[in-house]
Amino acid sequence: MAVRSRKALPSNIDGWLAYIQTIHSRSIDLTLERVRRVAHCMKLAPAVPVMTVAGTNGKGSVVNLCQRVLTVHGLSVGSYTSPHLVHYNERICWNGQAVDNETLVDAFRAVETARKHIPLTYFEFGTLAAMHLFCQWQVEVILLEVGLGGRLDATNIWSADVSVITAIDHDHESWLGTTRRAIAREKAGILRYARPAVIGDPKPPTSLNDRVRQLRCQGLFIGVEFSGEVTPQGWDWHMPVGRKGLSPRDISDLPKPTGWLEAHVRNAATALTALVQLEPMTTISMKKVRQVLAQWSLPGRLQRVPGAVDQLFDVAHNPAAIRTLAQFLEKSPPSSKTHAVFALFGDKDLDQIIKILDSLIDHWYVGGLTGDRAVAPGVLAAAIGRIARGGISAHADPVMAYRAAIKDARPGERVVVFGSFQVVGAILPLVNGETRLPCGARAESPC
């Protein structure tokens, strides 16, 4: 597809977000040659440490916690995550601050100029824009969250100095495979020869162990070389040997934010273990780590909005994440009913998700999503009805479903919003009093 003339290029962020969805015939294209060619033209070869994070769940949390700890230690950090909740700018951050619209538009222009006739997907375009900005900002550490899989993800064109793989479970099976072993093999594609590989899955598939051994990585496995365990006072971290000779030690009673479960503690231990493998982390201040943990939260991850009707927002969209959500709901039951505002893409394991939550939900308010994989709300509601015992109502979109749930909920009851980044991202601005984004800002998120 030919490049537009400069006069025809978009002038604002919404125009660019709409445009970059049109320059490739497919929303996902897991090949690296095209994005490598453009990166080469842009001279995107970072000379600073890169940490790449893959995994089914927990990637965003690990990146966010790493960024905060690095920043309080005085380091300049560029982080790239996906998908976004509300604003696209959330994906590209400098020391935790999202890029502004004008700077992002300039980065998009730079990618567009360099790509010439090379088609790029929405995700690939954004990945190149992020690295362009990190090089421009001269950050000291780069944190990359894999978009899908690992081996053929656009973030993998840069070699990670430290690779992190969080929990591995079933999701995106049409792309990654139908077994944990196959999925792990794809995610292991981010590993690099003889470099640290931090593994946060307590039961890693043999394919991952094999790849760590084949590449002679410095394998750091949770439950073996490091650990994170819940205690009555918080949680304990067994810190392994660090890159700069930091001695292994046990750190007790670290702060545990409200609502944290074992999965969250594993993610935190994985993040801290990865940090001490980074070249700039010649020392780590546990006082600063404690300060970060005591204040840590991430929007859309078991995010509670208290009130007469308690509200909970979670981007859980696969069975493993839904099990964590169910554990949270069981540990903090409402005095009466739980209303679920829910939508799911058609390639997700709906039956398994409903079975996990059925006993915890009194009424399902089903909304429709947008995109090629969207399922009509009536069809989704009918599918839920074949399994769920609670009430069900179908609504045109998540916002209408949410408004119906809030209207029906009584004081002491609870509304839980989950199933997709798109669901939570559509509703959180209403809770925060913001204006909803135009549809052009939302694209092919696999979640």
34-46, pLDDT tens digit by residue? 999 999 999 999 9
Contact 240, 247 (CB under 8 A): no
pLDDT value at residue 440? 37
Q: What's the CA gap between 72 and 92, in Å, rounded? A: 19
Strand 303-305 and strand 218-221: the pairing is unpaired
**In whole angstroms, how far apart are CA 19 and each of 3, 235, 443, 445?**
11, 46, 11, 16
**Delimiting residues of CATH 3.40.1190.10 domain(s) in the chain:** 6-295
Q: Are strands 77-80 and 92-94 parallel, antiparallel or unpaired?
A: antiparallel
Rounded Cα gap, residues 162 and 277, in angstroms = 7
CATH fold, domain 303-441, is Protein-Tyrosine Phosphatase; Chain A (3.90.190)
Tell me how far CA of residue 104 lies from CA of 118, 359, 370, in angstroms.
20, 45, 25
Residue 446 binned pLDDT confidence (cut-offs 50, 70, 90): low
Q: Which two tokens stand for residue 17?
A: 């977000």
What pLDDT does 66 receive?
98
Cβ atoms of residues 86 and 428 within 8 Å = yes
Q: Write down the pLDDT at residue 346.
A: 86
Among the listed residues 38, 275, 321, the one whose alpha carbon sits nearest the alpha carbon of residue 154: 38
pLDDT reading at 101 higher than 50: yes
d(CA 239, CA 329): 31
Task: Give the number of other Cβ atoms within 10 Å of residue 67's Cβ.
Answer: 24
* Residue 212 contacts residue 191 (beta carbons within 8 Å): yes
pLDDT grade for 447, boundaries at 50, 70 and 90: low
**What is the rounded CA–CA span in Å between residue 417 and residue 443?**
20
Q: Helices 122-137 and 101-115 meet at what angle, rounded to 10?
A: 110
Q: What is the mean pLDDT of the chain?
A: 92
pLDDT of residue 167: 95
pLDDT, tens digit (0-9, with 9 covering 90-100), for 190-244? 999 999 999 999 999 999 999 999 999 999 999 999 999 999 999 999 988 776 6
| C-alpha pair distances (Å), 346 with each of 15, 73, 143, 423, 446 | 28, 43, 31, 14, 11
- Beta strands, E only, 303-408: 303-305, 310-313, 338-342, 363-366, 391-394
- Beta bridge pairs of residue 303: 313
pLDDT tens, 283-340? 889 999 999 999 999 999 999 999 999 999 999 999 999 999 999 999 988 778 999 9
Give me the helices (H) in 238-343, please.
262-275, 286-295, 319-331
> Tokens at residue 429, please?
């601005």
Question: Quick one: 109 exposed, middle or buried, by C-beta within 10 A (0-12, 13-18, 19+)?
Answer: middle
Tokens of 219: 């394998």
* pLDDT given at position 248: 82
Looking at residue 213, what is its pLDDT?
Answer: 98
Order of all β-strands in the sheet with 162-165: 97-98, 92-94, 77-80, 141-145, 50-54, 162-165, 196-199, 218-221
Domain 6-295 has CATH 1.10.40.50: no
Between CA 281 and CA 127 the distance in angstroms is 25
| Helix, strand, coil in percent for the chain, rounding step 5 | 40, 15, 45
pLDDT of residue 438: 38
In the chain, list all ranges with CATH 3.90.190.20: 303-441
Residue 175 structure tokens = 């792309």
